[in-house]
A = this chain, B = another copy of it.
Amino acid sequence: MRNRQVRLARRPHGAVREDDFSVVDAPMPAPGPDEVLIECLWLSLDPYQRMRMNDAPSYAPSVAVGEVMVGETVGRVIESRSPRLAPGDHVAGPTGWQCFAAMPARRLRTVDPGLAPLPAHLGVLGMPAVTAWVGLTHMAVPTAGETVVVSAASGAVGSVAGQIARLRGCRVIGIAGGATKCAHVVDDLGFDACLDYKLPGLARRVATAAPQGVHIYFDNVGGPVLDAVLATLAPFARIALCGQVSQYQTDVPYPLQNLRSLLVNRVRVQGFIVSDHMPLWPQALAELTGWFHAGQLSHRESVADGIDSAPRAFIAMLAGDKVGKQVVRLALQ
């Protein structure tokens, strides 16, 4: 048996291309002491992985050329050298884009396949949902009645951020690309409105949709969408700066025109990374699971089949071609 992997073949310049990756068969890994061998079943594709392909300094090391791409999977323990985990246990962890991985048991979290379908543990009950929860409840701190804007509203993080804001009694305006996504955001996710950033006049439309001003902006994209929302911030607004996906594939950052709004409106901007907030995960997952079981948290996955399709699915996700959480099915269960 061989271990199929996706590796970084070279650093992309601008938009990622399929030949920036290589798909190879590697020897099966062997678990060391306190490690387990995992069969990876579902791979999570997330925008932050694009940043890790660059050489620029970031909060985490870059993926080296030739290394396995960084990413989280849900899988099944097939061999254990740790008392913490037994064969058959389901786990989630940072295995990278591959079909098998040997990892220390302490770096994995157990997931309950009875609680929700496995890929949900990578989305609506996984890292993206905890990111949304931390950003909204601990960075932005909403009050009922406030107006919340969420960009990339149909994505894995944005879809949950907006739903949490609704559950907290806020009025929620999504921003997404295209009529299909916008309809999903309103009809399935229950946002109060959704604006298509691909149509002209976004700043004007944000102002119309938020006549009291925007109290909270949960930003996943940066760039011109951020600029449009800056123009309509309410006094004392908060921006949870979660991602800047529009800026990950360019060497020339978008020149924001409306930063002055941060001073004029006495705004708080808080950049954050969910992995800085590990102590909040149990509380976040407990609350998310409660909503999930009560039917208060809609979710959708875009599924690609087989690890060889991961590069193409990743490129499509970055281009905004997919709705919901992008996952790759690695093996039949």
Interface residues of A (CB under 8 A from B): 57-59, 222, 235, 241-244, 247, 253, 255-260, 262-273, 276
A255 surroundings in chain B (CB, below 8 A): 253, 255-256
Which has the most chain B C-beta neighbours within 10 Å: A59, A244, A258, A264? A264
14 further interface pairs, Cβ-Cβ under 8 Å (given A262-B269, A262-B271): A59-B235, A59-B265, A241-B262, A244-B259, A244-B263, A247-B260, A253-B255, A253-B256, A256-B259, A263-B271, A263-B273, A267-B271, A268-B268, A268-B270
Expressed in whole angstroms, the Cα–Cα distance for A145 and B241 within the complex equals 27
The reply to whether B268 and A269 form a contact with Cβ atoms under 8 Å apart is yes
- 15 cross-chain CB contacts under 8 A: A58-B264, A59-B235, A59-B264, A243-B263, A244-B259, A247-B260, A253-B257, A253-B259, A253-B260, A256-B259, A263-B273, A266-B271, A266-B272, A266-B276, A269-B270
Expressed in whole angstroms, the Cα–Cα distance for A247 and B222 within the complex equals 21
The reply to whether A271 and B264 form a contact with Cβ atoms under 8 Å apart is yes
A266 surroundings in chain B (CB, below 8 A): 59, 270-273, 276
A258 surroundings in chain B (CB, below 8 A): 253
The reply to whether B244 and A260 form a contact with Cβ atoms under 8 Å apart is yes
A57 surroundings in chain B (CB, below 8 A): 264
Minimum CB–CB distance for A44 against chain B, Å: 20
Chain B residue nearest in CB terms to A257: B253
Expressed in whole angstroms, the Cα–Cα distance for A260 and B244 within the complex equals 8
A259 surroundings in chain B (CB, below 8 A): 222, 244, 253, 256
Chain B residue nearest in CB terms to A219: B263
A58 surroundings in chain B (CB, below 8 A): 264
Chain B residue nearest in CB terms to A254: B255
Minimum CB–CB distance for A205 against chain B, Å: 18
Expressed in whole angstroms, the Cα–Cα distance for A269 and B272 within the complex equals 12
Minimum CB–CB distance for A145 against chain B, Å: 21
Expressed in whole angstroms, the Cα–Cα distance for A129 and B263 within the complex equals 18
Expressed in whole angstroms, the Cα–Cα distance for A205 and B235 within the complex equals 35
A222 surroundings in chain B (CB, below 8 A): 259
A247 surroundings in chain B (CB, below 8 A): 260
Minimum CB–CB distance for A186 against chain B, Å: 28
A273 surroundings in chain B (CB, below 8 A): 263, 266
A276 surroundings in chain B (CB, below 8 A): 266
Expressed in whole angstroms, the Cα–Cα distance for A244 and B259 within the complex equals 10
Minimum CB–CB distance for A263 against chain B, Å: 4
